[in-house]
Amino acid sequence: MRHFLDISDHSSEELQDLLDLAVRLKQEYFAGGNPPLFKGKVLAMIFQKPSLRTRVSFDMAMRHMGGDALYLSPNEIGLGKREAISDVARVLSGYVQAIMARVFAHEHVLELARWSSVPVINGLSDYSHPCQAMADALTIQERFGKTKGLNVVFVGDGNNVAVSLMQISVKLGWNFTIANPEGYDMPAAAIEQARQVAAQTGSKLAFLRDPHEAVRGAHVIYTDTWVSMGQEDETAKREAVFPPYQVNAQLVSEADKDVIVMHCLPAHRNQELTDEVADGPHSVIFQQAHNRLHAQKAILARLFGVA
């Protein structure tokens, strides 16, 4: 791997290899610690958006493996405003061994990769969230094993998290369903790309409006905030549209008895996800958050070429 920008860039085999490596690194960590494979490596972390999980998980992944991380706030760089993205990429390439960027526009992370001579990781963009999808897949495999034909259901906005979840589901042979309101569909190009992969892996895709229909037989129910960062001006409109898509005890009861409930966090509790579900027996939201650390160690190790 040269960069990690989008799940669709990688084969099913490459993604499963990364997940297997994440399992091994997680086991090592809990057995006494990871070896310092990242010694002498520094990860530059560019942020256009606030972050808890992305910042801390990448920082700690580097520390656990003997490396270091450098936080660059929105005010320090002004990506594409204070300085051209091409210049930022080429300057940082002379200082650090990899760049992680959490941005608004997907084109920004693509341009960083275009000009960088070190690996670039998409820590989140408006199009996709591939690092989150890797943690999600690790969590699902920990619960169900490497099972083909699992029913993964996303309830809510067809956003960047939904896109990456769909991408990794079809790559790993899981069925993917989304239930979302009209006007909040995933990008058509992402859907077409997923259809092509599903034709090869045997996954089934479904795009529905009714969340109750969607969760029948679901092994995974996934939701996300109704209003993402950068959409604050749409808050009132979205809060009027999305209440029927709340993941609550009634909706969970209509799925498979062993269903797990996932959320990438931060959650607006008792909006898209009720407290009863978030803190209930089906929830894996904190295991999922913790797995960001281990999945990202695997991504970094492959990009550094040390594992």
Q: Which domains does the chain have, with CATH numbers?
A: 7-129+291-304 (3.40.50.1370), 132-288 (3.40.50.1370)
**Residues with catalytic annotation?**
102, 129, 132, 224, 264, 292
User: CB 232: neighbour CB atoms within 10 A?
Assistant: 9
Q: Which of 297, 303, 301, 306 is nearest to 113 (CA)?
A: 303
> Strand, coil or helix: what is 40?
coil
Q: Distance between CA atoms of 272 and 50, rounded to whole angstroms?
A: 20
- What six digits make up the tokens of 24? 């091994």
Q: Which pLDDT belongs to residue 75? A: 83
pTM higher than 0.85: yes
Q: What is the pLDDT of residue 230?
A: 76
C-beta of residue 177 within 8 angstroms of C-beta of residue 154: yes
CA nearest to 138, candidates 302, 258, 251, 293: 293
pLDDT, tens digit (0-9, with 9 covering 90-100), for 209-266: 999 999 999 999 999 999 887 788 889 999 999 999 999 999 999 999 999 999 999 9
d(CA 296, CA 116): 20
* pLDDT at 182 > cutoff 90: yes
Is the CB of residue 177 less than 8 Å from the CB of residue 208? Answer: yes
The region, left, alpha or beta by phi > 0 then psi within -120 to 50, assigned to residue 41 is beta
Q: What are phi and psi of 66, to 5 degrees?
A: 90, 5
Residues 262 and 283: their CA atoms lie apart, in Å, by 6
Model confidence at 50, pLDDT cuts 50, 70, 90, reads confident
CA-wise closest residue to 113 among 9, 227, 223: 9
Q: Please state the rounded mean pLDDT for residues 198-219.
A: 98
- Specify the higher pLDDT residue, 206 or 307: 206
Question: Is the pLDDT confidence value at 1 over 90?
Answer: no
Question: Which of 83 and 166 is assigned the larger pLDDT?
Answer: 166
Question: Which helix (H) or strand (E) covers residue 98, if one does?
Answer: strand 98-102
Selection from 98, 152, 103, 111 nearest residue 127 by Cα:
103
